[in-house]
């Protein structure tokens, strides 16, 4: 199969790129599940954009830089903040509905680390609303082909033409991808002029995550294998408040917008503990709140703290957070009367595949967008609700860049089809599941909210064993989704540990007790 633009992933980043590029060439989107199985669909709090005074671009830039703990790329921050209003207009044109006040102005949320209300939202289901509008627009576009249940296995480069390549190979380029058709079990070769990896995050390398099961770091791992550069992988953001409901996967998020609305974190005793940790108390940046909860839980031996919104007007609580209200009711909690038990969970990968201001990776003809990428916007810690807007701004940047180069690029011929025949046995599935659990457990125990040199070293040793066993299995097994995901999670976990060991300080989301900070 040949296409101008091969987009891998159907979240906000991939769909927005497709809509922008489709006016200039044919777009093929492959996605491993149904179109709306993605992190985007779960986003609650909303999407950042400077909308009304007293907010300004300068304030949004400042908040992003402060939250990023000195690790942000200033140009990326300027780009996203200043272009955000344009992309919000595009979203509205594609049919997204944001909540408004009775006088017709956008109703703006506030979350941790923000000095102003600047988060547009649709109830507490903003991501689902954006995803709905994007999917409807994509379905109407005759220049976009969507292939659901198509799992990208690996990116094609000169390696597949028999050349020896490294991260330093000059002219290293991407020619498309090998893609597993999950329905037929065939591996298809899709050749493209440009390949866009928009496969989202990697929350499932941890036991507790707010991410849906599709977030297995596939794009980061594929780009790493294709010799693209990755960075900032140690900065895994833990969301402080997911519903404590043992056994539930993914962990259900209690949006930070609820703390922006006035909800207060409390210990079981009722003590409001955040004033010991930060002047912004319950609305402090996420890394601070997650570590504070971690610290309190370690002291008390409890498994959760509480979020209390019972002092707010019940009708207002129900109308702002209808989804959370209904969800909590199903486990017997009326959030207008009861405190909500919450605990942190892996939430967002601040690092990823290093890209420039056009979303271009270190490999030619290969772009990385959205949570898969590391644009430099988030630095050491992402400001809440900055990721959806980053995905959209960079999708637009990348589309403009690729479209301008389109006339000069040809499809690469001579790439061989996938030629491996193997087997899959039920017993292998059990091993895959067991290895996944072991990996998640070691990442949670040794590479979580608080790390140490020793814990990182142990994690790497144990991961190496799982890696070897998995490669052995991969080399004799016909690729299937579960095995490929495990392999990708191991590669992603490896990058988190490796880059974590290289950073000799505690900064942002990476807290190492051997390098304490105030």
Tokens 């050749």 belong to residue: 191
CA dihedral (28, 370, 495, 6) in degrees, to 10, reads: 10
Residue nearest to ligand SIN (CB): 45
Nearer to ligand FAD, 17 or 273 (CB): 17
Distance CA 169, CA 332 (A): 58
- Using an 8 Å Cβ cutoff, are 269 and 299 in contact? no
Tokens 């769909």 belong to residue: 15
286 given a catalytic annotation: yes
**Partners of 8 in beta bridges:** 30, 197
Q: Please select the residue that binds ligand SIN; options are 45, 68, 219, 351, rule is CB under 6 A.
A: 45
- Say which residues have a Cβ less than 8 Å from residue 246's Cβ, sequence separation at least 6: none
Cα-trace Rg, the chain: 22
- Number of CB atoms found within 10 A of residue 70's CB: 10
Residue 338, token pair as written in the block: 């009861």
Distance CA 101, CA 171 (A): 53
238 binds, among ligand SIN, ligand FAD, none (CB under 5 to 8 A by kind): none
**Partners of 150 in beta bridges:** 181
- Mapped onto helix, strand or coil, the DSSP state of residue 134 is helix
493 binds, among ligand SIN, ligand FAD, none (CB under 5 to 8 A by kind): none
Using rule CB under 6 A, residue 256 touches ligand SIN: yes
Using rule CB under 6 A, residue 188 touches ligand SIN: no
Nearer to ligand SIN, 241 or 362 (CB): 241
Question: Least Å distance between CB 69 and ligand SIN?
Answer: 17
Packed helices 453-476 and 481-502: angle between N→C axes, nearest 10 degrees: 150
Q: Please select the residue that binds ligand SIN; options are 207, 375, 385, 488, rule is CB under 6 A.
A: 385
31 binds, among ligand SIN, ligand FAD, none (CB under 5 to 8 A by kind): ligand FAD
Nearer to ligand SIN, 44 or 381 (CB): 44
Q: Can you point out the beta strands (E) in 279-427?
A: 305-308, 340-349, 352-354, 366-368, 373-374
Exactly one of 118, 208, 286, 365 is catalytic; name it: 286
14 binds, among ligand SIN, ligand FAD, none (CB under 5 to 8 A by kind): ligand FAD
Distance CA 135, CA 267 (A): 42
Give the residues lining the site for ligand FAD (CB under 6 A). Answer: 8-14, 30-33, 37-40, 42-47, 126-127, 151-152, 198-201, 210-211, 214-215, 218, 253, 348, 370-372, 385-388, 391
210 binds, among ligand FAD, ligand SIN, none (CB under 5 to 8 A by kind): ligand FAD
Using rule CB under 6 A, residue 349 touches ligand SIN: no
Q: Please select the residue that binds ligand SIN; options are 28, 255, 372, 397, rule is CB under 6 A.
A: 255
Using rule CB under 6 A, residue 436 touches ligand SIN: no
Q: Can you point out the beta strands (E) in 126-185?
A: 144-147, 150-156, 176-181
- Using an 8 Å Cβ cutoff, are 392 and 385 in contact? no
Using rule CB under 6 A, residue 282 touches ligand SIN: no
256 binds, among ligand SIN, ligand FAD, none (CB under 5 to 8 A by kind): ligand SIN
Nearer to ligand SIN, 45 or 203 (CB): 45
Catalytically active residues, by annotation:
286
Residues forming the site for ligand SIN (CB under 6 A): 44-45, 253, 255-257, 348, 384-385, 387
């Amino acid at each position: 199969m040949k296409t101008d633009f091969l987009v891998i992933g159907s979240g906000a980043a991939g769909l927005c790129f497709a809509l922008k590029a489709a006016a200039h060439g044919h777009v093929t989107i492959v996605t491993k599940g149904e179109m709306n199985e993605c992190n985007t669909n779960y986003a609650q709090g909303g999407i950042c954009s400077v909308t009304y005074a007293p907010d300004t671009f300068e304030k949004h830039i400042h908040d992003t830089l402060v939250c990023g703990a000195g690790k942000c790329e200033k140009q990326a921050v300027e780009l996203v903040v200043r272009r955000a209003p344009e992309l919000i207009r595009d979203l509205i044109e594609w049919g997204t509905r944001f909540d408004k006040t009775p006088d017709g102005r956008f109703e703006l949320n506030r979350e941790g680390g923000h000095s102003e209300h600047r988060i547009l939202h649709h109830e507490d289901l903003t991501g689902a609303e954006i995803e709905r509008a994007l999917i409807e627009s994509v379905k109407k576009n005759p220049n976009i082909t969507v292939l659901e249940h198509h799992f990208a296995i690996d990116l094609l480069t000169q390696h597949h033409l028999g050349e020896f390549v490294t991260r330093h190979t000059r002219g290293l380029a991407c020619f498309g991808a090998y893609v597993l058709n999950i329905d037929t079990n065939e591996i298809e070769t899709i050749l493209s002029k440009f390949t866009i990896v928009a496969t989202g995050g990697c929350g499932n390398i941890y036991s507790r995550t707010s991410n849906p099961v599709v977030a297995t770091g596939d794009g980061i791992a594929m780009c790493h294998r294709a010799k693209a550069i990755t960075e900032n992988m140690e900065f895994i953001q833990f969301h402080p408040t997911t519903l404590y409901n043992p056994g539930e996967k993914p962990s259900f998020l209690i949006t930070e917008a609820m703390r922006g609305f006035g909800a207060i974190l409390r210990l079981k005793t009722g003590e409001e503990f955040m004033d010991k940790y930060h002047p912004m108390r319950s609305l402090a940046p996420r890394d601070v709140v997650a570590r504070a909860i971690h610290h309190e839980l370690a002291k008390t031996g409890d498994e959760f703290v509480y979020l209390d919104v019972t002092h707010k007007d019940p009708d207002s609580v129900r109308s702002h957070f209808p989804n959370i209200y209904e969800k909590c009711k199903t486990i017997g909690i009326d959030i207008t009367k009861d405190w909500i038990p919450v605990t942190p969970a892996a939430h967002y990968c601040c690092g990823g595949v290093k890209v420039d201001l056009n979303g271009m990776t270190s490999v030619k003809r290969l772009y990385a967008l959205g949570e898969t990428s590391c644009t430099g916007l988030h630095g050491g810690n992402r400001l809440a609700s900055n990721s959806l807007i980053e995905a959209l701004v960079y999708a637009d940047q990348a589309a403009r860049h690729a479209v301008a180069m389109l006339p000069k690029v040809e499809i690469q011929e001579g790439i061989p089809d996938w030629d491996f025949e193997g087997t899959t046995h039920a017993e292998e599935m059990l091993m895959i599941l067991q290895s996944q659990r072991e990996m998640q457990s070691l990442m949670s125990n040794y590479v979580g909210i608080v790390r140490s040199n020793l814990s990182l070293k142990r994690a790497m040793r144990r991961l190496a064993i799982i890696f070897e066993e998995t490669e052995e299995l991969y080399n004799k097994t016909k690729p299937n989704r579960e095995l490929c995901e495990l392999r990708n999670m191991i590669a992603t976990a490896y990058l988190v540990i490796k880059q974590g060991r290289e950073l000799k300080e505690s900064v942002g989301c990476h807290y190492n007790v051997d390098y304490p900070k105030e």
